[in-house]
Amino acid sequence: MQSINKNDLEEAAQLVYEHMPPTPQYIWPQLCEMVGATVWVKHENHTPTGAFKVRGGITFADWLKRAHPEVWGIITATRGNHGQSQARAATAAGLQVRILVPRGNSPEKNAAMRGFGATVVEFGEDFDDARIEAKRLSAEENLFMVPPFHRELVRGVGSYALELFNAAADLDTVYVPVGCGSGICGVIAARDALGLRTEVVGVVSTRALTAKLSFEAGKLTETESAATFADGIAVRVPVEEAFEIYSKGADRIVAVSDDDIAAAIRIYFRDTHNTAEGAGAASLAALLCEKDRMRGKSVAVILTGGNIDTEDFAAVLLGKTPQTT
């Protein structure tokens, strides 16, 4: 992927701000006390789709209309937030939108994608099954395949990291969840473009380890399943283009259990009254697991989204961890 510089990110941010304001980053005292550090939370749950992906949808749709004016419709695969982003932006650009999700996908995320104008089709057992079918249908039906990772997606979501680093340039560490990789690559791009020394730590679920295994092996490593309720990081096949970036630019990738993630969701709601979905709470879960290592430092966690289904959220608040198979 062609490198992304500060000007690229600033231009992306201006595109994003035509659709939404910058999201806030706050220091929450109770989180600071819990960790023994200065803790910033970047609130990507405060976007028009409730997740950071909306930014990449805006920049990707702008690029697509300029680079491929002949395109009449798009197709993509998702567990929900990427799909909402693409549906919102592509529909606004006058394009038809087809989105594939795995069977049993979040009904509330499916409804949100339809609300933004997409036709939603269930296929396969997980995200990677849906992604392969979307690619097949794109050729069969002459729809433009929106991949889970693309320079324009990274450039767009990197605008949240630009905001964060401009507000808190002295950060020692940023924790960011890793699914297909646009988020962590956007953070790395912004850090490098600004010449900062902040370490970037990726976070995965112990039930979806592909990014961590790939990082530690130095090569792409698939897993047999990705059965975590944190659907935004439920990926079993790593994305090569993303791996090429985070394998060099991340300090480490840590794994947290689904119980850790559920506990972090409860902490967010109790101590900040923010709703976090599983992937959105993973960064805080990782920080809490590494709090001794982070004591006395200035750290940030990316609350990447708040789109958790009502039933799961109710269960989590009652002290349970949603189960997946």
pLDDT digits (tens, 9 = 90+) for 228-250: 999 999 999 999 999 999 999 99
What range defines the domain where residue 58 resides?
53-145
324 belongs to a structural domain = no
Examine the domain organization and report whether 17 and 27 are in the same domain.
yes
Q: Which of 104, 122, 145 is the last residue of a domain?
A: 145
232 belongs to a structural domain = yes
Count Cβ atoms within 10 A of the Cβ of residue 194 and give its class: 0-12 exposed, 13-18 middle, 19 or more buried: middle
Question: What pLDDT does residue 282 have?
Answer: 98
Q: Which of 145, 160, 189 is the last residue of a domain?
A: 145
**Can you tell me whether residue 295 is helix, strand or coil?**
coil
Examine the domain organization and report whether 221 and 101 are in the same domain.
no
pLDDT digits (tens, 9 = 90+) for 266-294: 999 999 999 999 999 999 999 999 999 99
pLDDT digits (tens, 9 = 90+) for 12-48: 999 999 999 999 999 999 999 999 999 999 999 999 9
Coarse DSSP helix, strand, coil percentages of the chain, rounded to the nearest 5 percent: 50, 15, 35
64 belongs to a structural domain = yes
Q: Which of 104, 124, 145 is the last residue of a domain?
A: 145
Examine the domain organization and report whether 259 and 207 are in the same domain.
yes
40 belongs to a structural domain = yes
Examine the domain organization and report whether 189 and 294 are in the same domain.
yes
Confidence of residue 262 (pLDDT cuts 50, 70, 90): very high
Place of tokens 């680079």: 67
Overall number of domains in the chain: 2
Examine the domain organization and report whether 82 and 183 are in the same domain.
no
Question: What pLDDT does residue 128 have?
Answer: 87
Question: What pLDDT does residue 225 have?
Answer: 87
Examine the domain organization and report whether 167 and 130 are in the same domain.
no
Count Cβ atoms within 10 A of the Cβ of residue 172 and give its class: 0-12 exposed, 13-18 middle, 19 or more buried: middle
Examine the domain organization and report whether 103 and 193 are in the same domain.
no
Alpha-helical (H) ranges within the chain are: 6-16, 29-35, 53-67, 81-92, 107-115, 127-141, 151-167, 182-193, 210-217, 240-249, 258-272, 278-289, 291-294, 310-317
1 belongs to a structural domain = no
Alpha-helical (H) ranges within 171-257 are: 182-193, 210-217, 240-249
- What average pLDDT does range 41-64 have in this prediction? 98
Comparing C-alpha atoms, which of 253, 259, 269 is closest to residue 209?
A: 253
Examine the domain organization and report whether 261 and 120 are in the same domain.
no
Residue 325 pLDDT > 90:
no
CATH classification at residue 302: 3.40.50.1100
223 belongs to a structural domain = yes
219 belongs to a structural domain = yes
Cβ-based neighbour number of residue 163 at 10 Å? 20
Examine the domain organization and report whether 34 and 73 are in the same domain.
no
**Can you tell me whether residue 158 is helix, strand or coil?**
helix
Examine the domain organization and report whether 137 and 276 are in the same domain.
no
Distance separating alpha carbons of residues 314 and 265, to the nearest angstrom: 11
- What average pLDDT does range 123-137 have in this prediction? 93
Distance separating alpha carbons of residues 107 and 87, to the nearest angstrom: 16
Question: What pLDDT does residue 212 have?
Answer: 98
270 belongs to a structural domain = yes
Distance separating alpha carbons of residues 187 and 162, to the nearest angstrom: 8
Comparing C-alpha atoms, which of 73, 94, 47 is closest to residue 146?
A: 73
Distance separating alpha carbons of residues 273 and 265, to the nearest angstrom: 10
Comparing C-alpha atoms, which of 231, 155, 222, 219 is closest to residue 193?
A: 155
Examine the domain organization and report whether 40 and 70 are in the same domain.
no
Examine the domain organization and report whether 206 and 307 are in the same domain.
yes
